[in-house]
Structure 1
Amino acid sequence: MGLLSIVKGIVFFLVFAAIVFSVVLLVFDGKIPALNKAKNNNNKKNDSKGAKGTSNKSKDDSKKGEVKIATTQEFLDFEDIQIFNKDNPMGIIVRNNKTEFIGIVEVFGINYNLLSVEEREILEVSFGKLLNGIDYPIQIYVQSRKLDIDKYENRYEARLGEIKKNIDSLTSRYNFATENNENGENNAVIVELADKINKLTNQYNYGEEIKEYMMARSKQKNILERKYYLVITHKHNNKMFEEALTYEELLKNAFFDIANKANSIISSLQRSKLGGKMLNAVELAEVLYSAYNKSESSIYKISNALKSQFSHLYTTATPVELKTIARQIDEVERMKDEELRKLRELQEKEQEEAEGYYDLDVNYSPLTEAGASYRLKKPQG
């Protein structure tokens, strides 16, 4: 009996312990998701509060100032290129917050090796006097760039076109003199015209050969040329003026100061058997573009881009109405010239008839072998 009661007690304890453990598991299994849910809700609330705080902070930062994105142009050492006016396209470079202005004078080179000893000494003395006469700061800038063969090609083509026109004009005169040389009175004129035509033809052929040689040579090898510049600077000093000047007034003072200095330098260069000129705005842009883009400056030219309006937002053409008006004006002028020509022919014919001449037209026949028109004098009486 004692052993049986002990076994029953153990079994009862185990059953009771199992029931208690099951209840505990059920309770904690229900509470833990609830606790997690509550914790997640608290985290969401905290996140929303943090997000609101961040958004408020970003709004405050945006109120303080927007983030500025720097462009490539801001890293350049100049701000703008200005011209004086359309009639005088002299250009200056604006830099240093519109307080410093720069003008450039190009000095035309001379072949020093071809000069004699005396000419070299004269050139050196003259150039020394030029430098000693300058009492303001200047800079000497030498730029090497690929030879602009298009400029020389256009120059040759323009000159060859002029020679071709002269040849055509002389050829017309030669043919007219030959056709009206029945008695030999135009022999001297014909010989002179033939000599001129021969000389111009030789010049034209020689020019064509030179142009073809230059184009072939430039394609085979890059030819470099040197440009020599004198840089003139004008700096604005606010202390010299009682009131602050406007930007237009600053430009006006800079233009006059740089122009006076440039003219003085150019005059001194001419006395030294050298030449020079003040660069305009397009030429200044070419110099700067060649300095910053050495490899592309020979391909992309500022002057060609401006002529073709390559970088323009939009391009315009002549309106159709203006083209129609121009065509009508040309048509009226042509009709007017035709009427004047007919009137002159009629007047000449009436004058010839009054003087006793008439035209005899002969059609084609085996004897004459061609049609012809003869001017005969009327018989007297």
Structure 2
Amino acid sequence: MGLLIYSIVFGLGGWVFWRYMSKEPILPWSNKKSQSKKDVSKSGAPPSKNHKRSKKKNSPDDYEEVEPNLFQHFLEDMEGITDHMIRLVNNEFVLIAEAIPVNYHLLSQHEQESIDNEVERWLSKLDYPTKPYFQNRYIDLTEPIEEIKNNLNSQDDIPEAAYRYGISMMEDLAEFQARTPRYETKRYIIFNYQVPVSEIEADSDEELEERILDKAFQELYRRYNTAKSSLGKGKIGLELLTSDGIVGLLYYTFNRKKAVKHRFKDIVEREKLALYPTAVQEQRKIELVKEMIENGSHEEDEETAS
């Protein structure tokens, strides 16, 4: 009997020692969280927040999308935008055109083969640097919402049921855009050309600069027209990006999430890119500003005279 009691006591002591060394609760059915709180209270150290932060970081609800670093290496050599071209160092210029895609999978096999042949024929003629660029943007439903709103406000004979349906549709579209963002893909073709300055003759620096710009635009525009003609036979449209279009492309590149709320089109229409404010103002406001300027000038004259 004594040997049995001794064996039980020895086994319990070994169990307690093993659970303690493995940092596990002595009783299997006890809560690990309460045990860890006891260990913290004994040590006097504050609870760590790294574990909680890691859980929040991994949760899909708290995921924060990081803006892409596209064009970062490209902009390091950028000097500016002029004549619908991006100018880089060493007199290298870039022209960008947007490709209007065709719904390839809805066409017949004969039409698909025709498109493939035209694209292959254009690619076989390329003997200069040409790059494709794909940009994913959030779908902006602002214009459809504004169109529905204008239609509801411009028609006086619209039925009450149709008016309520239009209002509910605008609310659903706005909620859908905020809750479930979706993407659309923009496709671009980039043409590069470096002007051989040594082959250009000019009497002054101004004339040389003008001839460099003319030479770059003529060569890049020729390449653009060649691509437009070849791809047009395959029902693929190609539109040249102007200087504003290039700025808009860069704006969407670096502000993909902000561009939905702060649209580039609104920035241009509200003249936020203008060097001076030229928005239409009321005549009364103009007179008040002139009066404030005159009063300020009179006060400065009086202080100078005194």
- For residues 258 and 322 of structure 1, the distance between their equivalents in structure 2, rounded to whole angstroms, comes to 50
Per the TM alignment, residue 154 of structure 1 is displaced from its structure 2 partner at its CA by: 4.3
Which TM-score applies when normalising by structure 2?
0.56
Tell me if 1:220 matches 2:179: yes
| Percent identity of paired positions between Structure 1 and Structure 2 | 25
- For residues 206 and 123 of structure 1, the distance between their equivalents in structure 2, rounded to whole angstroms, comes to 42
Deviations 1:137-186 (A, max 9, x none): 2111111111122244445566x47xx87x77xx8xxxxxxxxxxxxxxx
Per the TM alignment, residue 272 of structure 1 is displaced from its structure 2 partner at its CA by: 0.5
Aligned to 1:231: 190
Per the TM alignment, residue 269 of structure 1 is displaced from its structure 2 partner at its CA by: 2.1
- For residues 264 and 228 of structure 2, the distance between their equivalents in structure 1, rounded to whole angstroms, comes to 25
Aligned to 2:222: 260
CA RMSD of aligned residues (A): 3.7
Aligned to 1:336: none
Q: Which runs of 5+ in 2 are unaligned?
A: 1-71, 286-306
Per the TM alignment, residue 293 of structure 1 is displaced from its structure 2 partner at its CA by: 3.2
Tell me if 1:145 matches 2:134: no
Per the TM alignment, residue 313 of structure 1 is displaced from its structure 2 partner at its CA by: 5.7
Letter in 2 for 1:79: E
Q: Secondary structure at the match of 1:215?
A: helix
Letter in 1 for 2:218: F
Choose which of 92, 109, 117 in structure 2 pairs with 1:125. Answer: 117
Choose which of 260, 281, 291 in structure 1 pairs with 2:243. Answer: 281
- 8 Å CA contact 1:79–1:94 kept in 2: the answer is yes
Choose which of 96, 99, 105 in structure 1 pairs with 2:89. Answer: 96
- 8 Å CA contact 1:282–1:302 kept in 2: the answer is no
Aligned to 1:107: 99
Q: 1:124 to 1:251 in 2, by over 3 A?
A: same
Q: Secondary structure at the match of 2:94?
A: strand
Larger radius of gyration: 1
Q: 1:215 to 1:77 in 2, by over 3 A?
A: farther
Tell me if 1:296 matches 2:248: no
* Higher relative contact order, structure no. (Cα contacts within 8 Å, ≥ 6 residues apart): 2
Aligned to 1:272: 234
- For residues 75 and 271 of structure 1, the distance between their equivalents in structure 2, rounded to whole angstroms, comes to 34
- For residues 174 and 123 of structure 2, the distance between their equivalents in structure 1, rounded to whole angstroms, comes to 39
Q: Secondary structure at the match of 1:309?
A: coil
- For residues 202 and 110 of structure 1, the distance between their equivalents in structure 2, rounded to whole angstroms, comes to 38
Aligned length: 211
- For residues 241 and 103 of structure 1, the distance between their equivalents in structure 2, rounded to whole angstroms, comes to 21
Letter in 2 for 1:81: I
Aligned to 2:37: none
Per the TM alignment, residue 205 of structure 1 is displaced from its structure 2 partner at its CA by: 9.5
Q: 1:305 to 1:262 in 2, by over 3 A?
A: same
Per the TM alignment, residue 224 of structure 1 is displaced from its structure 2 partner at its CA by: 0.4
Q: Secondary structure at the match of 2:78?
A: coil
Deviations 1:225-267 (A, max 9, x none): 1111110112111222244653232222222222222122222
